[in-house]
Structure 1
Amino acid sequence: MSQRYWIVVVSKDHLARGVKGGFMQANHGKEAPLKKLKPGDWVIFYSPKQTYGGKEPLQAFTAIGQVKGDEIYRHKMSDDFVPYRRNVNFYKCTETPIEPLIPSLNFIENKKAWGFKFRFGFFEIQEHDFKQIKSAMINAEPIITNHI
């Protein structure tokens, strides 16, 4: 199977933990989305807000990386929250507002109601859209991370 491209929706504060630790979670720690990923797949992270549950909007692509390895594992964050994770090699990038990119992104079918697609939290995009976002974000140098 060829390389695929994904978008994960996550607040910037939650994403920071993943970038620091070299992992990702999707859809509040569910396993099913992570099973769709294969090693080498690219993942772009979109942050609608600065903080989880907060009101301060961000509306920007905030991280980009490639899936590392096949392992899906659980990590206990609290007694009642043990989410599934997948390791990711993150790349240095520039936080990129979505608004200027909307006209060139094919996955956003309704340019006026562009936020609707992101309500799914995790979805696949085509290579054209991936390249548009990546070229606006990336500096092509991997971040060295310690995996938890």
Structure 2
Amino acid sequence: MTRYWLAVVSRDHVRRAVELGIAQANHGKRAAVERMAAGDGLVFYSPRTGMRAGAQIRAFTALGTIGEAEPWQADDQGGGFRPWRRSVTYHDAAQEVPIDELRAELELTAVPNWGMILRRGLIELGEHDFAVVERAMVGE
């Protein structure tokens, strides 16, 4: 059964993930990427351009499908940081879409204090919401 995920990550980090064809969430925690399975859908939401600073953008910034490879621990960050990752095939045609353009259609934003839910870093997204975001980002 396909599941759908929304990861909250700064746009700078999303761009790096797309370049590498990977996903990591919740500051590289293993449990986050182990919840994902091959074929699952993934969308990134970026509140800001940078992790601790940067301009506020509040947009969906990348869209992809989790690859077949099992999660692995990377050793390319230096300083002892070894994040867990999954492979992802990103949709090349995906365009950034501000969340405000989709709020009226999303089940996620229909609940009070929906922004607090995003603080979890990685949440399961319903099929309806994933389809809304996908259609907005790639026109499908």
TM over 0.5: same fold?
A: yes
Aligned to 2:30: 31
What secondary structure is seen at the aligned counterpart in 2 of 1:19?
Answer: helix
Tell me the percent identity: 37
1:91–1:139 CA contact under 8 A, matched in 2:
no
Normalising to structure 2: TM-score of the pair? 0.93
Moved runs in structure 1, 4+ residues, more than 6 A?
A: none
Superposition map of 1:58-73 within 5 A = 58-73=57-72
CA distance in 2, matches of 1:67, 1:110: 27
Superposition map of 1:1-148 within 5 A = 2-76=1-75, 77-92=77-92, 93-110=94-111, 113-138=113-138
Between the two proteins, the alignment pairs up a number of residues equal to 138
As a proportion of its length, which structure holds more strand?
1
CA distance in 2, matches of 1:15, 1:121: 13
Normalising to structure 1: TM-score of the pair? 0.88
What secondary structure is seen at the aligned counterpart in 2 of 1:28?
Answer: helix
For structure 1, which runs of at least 5 residues remain unmatched after alignment? 141-148
CA distance 1:45–1:14, shift in 2 (3 Å): same
CA distance in 1, matches of 2:108, 2:79: 38
TM-align CA RMSD: 1.4
Aligned to 1:143: none
1:108–1:117 CA contact under 8 A, matched in 2:
no
For structure 2, which runs of at least 5 residues remain unmatched after alignment? none
